[in-house]
């Protein structure tokens, strides 16, 4: 196509074709897309290899390269995610409510596709397939605008999906990729009133703020993940250390990785030596004075231990760095989280259920955990098959977003000749 406007027009036409299709036809097309991705994995991996090579040559840090990287296991996950979405119930056509008015009108509230969606995202080529399959399930066309760092990967995945849709009798025009690499694309998408019904930004703070501040179309805001774990003094400290290790080190470039650890003063002497041993040679600890002193002496070989600065409390590192702050109580932890958190994912580790309930009721976040890693905030883990992102806003959708997030409602009103008289 010659321009983004041509793509907008094409997507709108394709969505009109897709919207009335039944579950059977949509699921058949999704299964064919999954088969096509699987069959074309050598092409996808080769394209991803070129992206990764360029990223490393440009000095991208390892945790962010990991977000970009695809391998056989991750392709398996992409294919499995599309197949899971195909097996899910259709989110369109559900009667959420129905009632009869005193005048005899029968009113039904029914779910319908939101329309044409656009997602603007960084790295993570798996988002290309995830966003497509969830939008398609919801009867929505979607425009993908990934980052230049994943351009070759995204092109290869889109080619595979479109071929699968053609093979499965689907609507191949319901998926398009904005791939010129120009930053002007983003501004044009954000101004596409009448063509784009909703935009989802998925990435770091700068991208999200650019979309939220510049959009003239509705936005479902996905937030950065300045996530916290609070360790209350009654917690099992060995178990707590394992949860913190997982939340920080399993995938530090993920938005649900923990960035700040809050430790109740009475837990410092038991927890911090354990963390120092687990993090030595693996990640840097940035501690306040009390937490630093509690790490013990001598320190484990290879431990990088630094003094925390005020800006550490508001930083999403996406790296092998953990800030540690001492707090006096659950209320102080809650106050810190509600000041510096990004309303994404927060956790308390405790054996005091009163403290847990207070934490759960007062922390303002999309996902609040008790005695579990923040790394579970994910559409796959929540049973959605895939995810559009983690919404940190409070309207329409919040938390991991599946296909239902791309639906809205229509009121169907049936009468027998009624007219309004007042």
pLDDT in tens, 350-372: 999 999 999 999 999 999 999 99
Residue-averaged pLDDT of the chain: 95
In a domain, 419, yes or no: no
Query: Is residue 259 within 8 Å of residue 378, measured between CB atoms?
Result: no
According to the model, what pLDDT value does residue 223 have? 73
Q: What's the CA dihedral at 19, 22, 25, 26 to 10 degrees? A: 50
Do β-strands 407-414 and 175-177 pair in parallel, antiparallel, or remain unpaired? unpaired
In a domain, 420, yes or no: no
340 and 213 within one domain:
no
361 and 409 within one domain:
no
Give the integer Cα–Cα distance in Å for 261 and 222: 23
242 and 194 within one domain:
no
In order along its 422 residues, the chain shows pLDDT tens digits of 568 999 999 999 999 999 999 999 999 999 999 999 999 999 999 999 999 999 999 999 888 899 899 999 999 999 999 999 999 999 999 999 999 999 999 999 999 999 999 999 988 999 999 999 999 999 999 999 999 999 999 999 999 999 999 999 999 999 999 988 778 899 999 999 999 999 999 888 888 889 999 999 999 988 789 999 999 999 999 999 999 999 999 999 889 999 999 999 999 999 999 999 999 999 999 999 999 999 988 999 999 999 999 999 999 999 999 999 999 999 999 999 999 999 999 999 999 999 999 999 999 999 999 999 999 999 889 988 889 999 988 888 899 999 999 999 999 999 999 999 98
Taking alpha carbons only, the member of 116, 112, 113, 111 closest to residue 199 is 116
142 and 76 within one domain:
yes
Query: Is residue 74 within 8 Å of residue 124, measured between CB atoms?
Result: no
119 and 257 within one domain:
no
What does the block give as tokens for 264? 């109740």
According to the model, what pLDDT value does residue 1 have? 54
In a domain, 382, yes or no: no
According to the model, what pLDDT value does residue 181 have? 75
What does the block give as tokens for 261? 């650890």
Name the residue range of residue 406's domain.
4-222+388-414
Instruction: Look at residue 353 and give its three-state secondary structure.
Output: helix
Find how far residue 325's CA is from the centre of its chain.
Answer: 27
Give the integer Cα–Cα distance in Å for 187 and 373: 37
What does the block give as tokens for 13? 């036409």
405 and 268 within one domain:
no
In a domain, 381, yes or no: no
For 289-317, b/e burial (b = at least 16 CB within 10 A) is eebbebbeeebeeebebeebeeebbebbb
In a domain, 339, yes or no: yes
Beta bridge partners of 143: 118, 176
According to the model, what pLDDT value does residue 216 have? 95
169 and 135 within one domain:
yes
Task: Tell me the CATH number at 312.
Answer: 3.40.309.10
Task: Tell me the CATH number at 112.
Answer: 3.40.605.10
- The model carries a pTM of 0.88
399 and 364 within one domain:
no
Token pair 């559009």 is found at 388
In a domain, 99, yes or no: yes
In a domain, 153, yes or no: yes
291 and 151 within one domain:
no
Max alpha carbon distance in the chain (Å)?
Answer: 86
Structurally, the chain folds into a number of domains equal to 2
Beta strands in 172-290 (DSSP E): 175-177, 198-202, 227-231, 258-264, 284-287
In a domain, 305, yes or no: yes
pLDDT, tens digit (0-9, with 9 covering 90-100), for 103-153 = 999 999 999 999 999 999 988 999 999 999 999 999 999 999 999 999 999
31 and 107 within one domain:
yes
Sign, CA torsion 343/221/150/60: negative
According to the model, what pLDDT value does residue 183 have? 80
140 and 67 within one domain:
yes
Query: Is residue 48 within 8 Å of residue 156, measured between CB atoms?
Result: yes
Query: Is residue 235 within 8 Å of residue 243, measured between CB atoms?
Result: no
260 and 206 within one domain:
no
């Amino acid at each position: 196509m010659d321009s983004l406007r041509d793509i907008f027009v094409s997507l709108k036409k394709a969505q009109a074709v897709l919207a009335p299709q039944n579950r059977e036809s949509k699921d058949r097309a999704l299964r064919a897309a999954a088969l096509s991705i699987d069959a074309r994995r050598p092409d996808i991996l080769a394209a991803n290899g070129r992206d990764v090579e360029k990223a490393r040559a440009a000095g991208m840090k390892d945790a962010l390269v990991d977000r970009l990287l695809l391998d056989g296991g991750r392709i398996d996950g992409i294919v499995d995610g599309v197949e899971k979405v195909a097996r899910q119930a259709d989110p369109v056509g559900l009667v959420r409510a129905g009632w009869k008015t005193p005048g005899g009108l029968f009113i039904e509230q029914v779910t319908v596709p939101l329309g044409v969606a656009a997602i603007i995202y960084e790295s993570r080529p798996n988002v290309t397939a995830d966003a497509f399959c969830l939008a398609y399930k919801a009867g929505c066309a979607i425009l993908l605008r990934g980052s230049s760092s994943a351009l070759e990967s995204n092109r290869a995945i889109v080619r595979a999906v479109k071929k699968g849709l053609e093979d499965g009798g689907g609507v191949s025009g319901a998926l398009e990729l904005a791939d010129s690499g120009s930053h002007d694309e983003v501004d044009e998408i954000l101004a596409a009133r009448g063509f784009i019904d909703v935009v989802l930004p998925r990435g770091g703070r700068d991208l999200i703020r650019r979309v939220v501040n510049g959009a003239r179309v509705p936005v479902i805001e996905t937030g950065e993940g300045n996530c916290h774990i609070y360790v209350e003094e009654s917690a099992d400290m060995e178990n707590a250390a394992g949860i913190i290790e997982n939340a920080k080190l399993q995938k530090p470039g993920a938005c649900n990785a923990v960035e700040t650890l809050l430790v109740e003063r009475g837990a410092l002497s038991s927890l911090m030596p354990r963390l120092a041993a687990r993090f030595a040679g693996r990640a840097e600890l940035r501690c306040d004075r009390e937490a630093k002193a509690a790490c013990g002496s001598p320190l484990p070989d290879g431990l990088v231990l630094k003094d925390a600065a005020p800006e550490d409390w508001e930083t999403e590192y996406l790296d092998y760095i953990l800030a540690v702050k001492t707090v006096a109580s659950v209320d102080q932890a809650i106050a810190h989280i509600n000041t510096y958190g990004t309303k994404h994912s927060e956790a308390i580790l405790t054996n005091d259920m009163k403290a847990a309930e207070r934490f759960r009721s007062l922390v303002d976040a999309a996902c609040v955990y008790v005695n579990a890693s923040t790394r579970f905030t994910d559409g796959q883990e929540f049973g959605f098959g895939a995810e559009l992102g983690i919404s940190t806003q409070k309207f329409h959708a919040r938390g991991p977003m599946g296909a239902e997030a791309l639906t809205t409602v229509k009121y169907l009103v049936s009468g027998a000749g009624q007219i309004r008289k007042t």
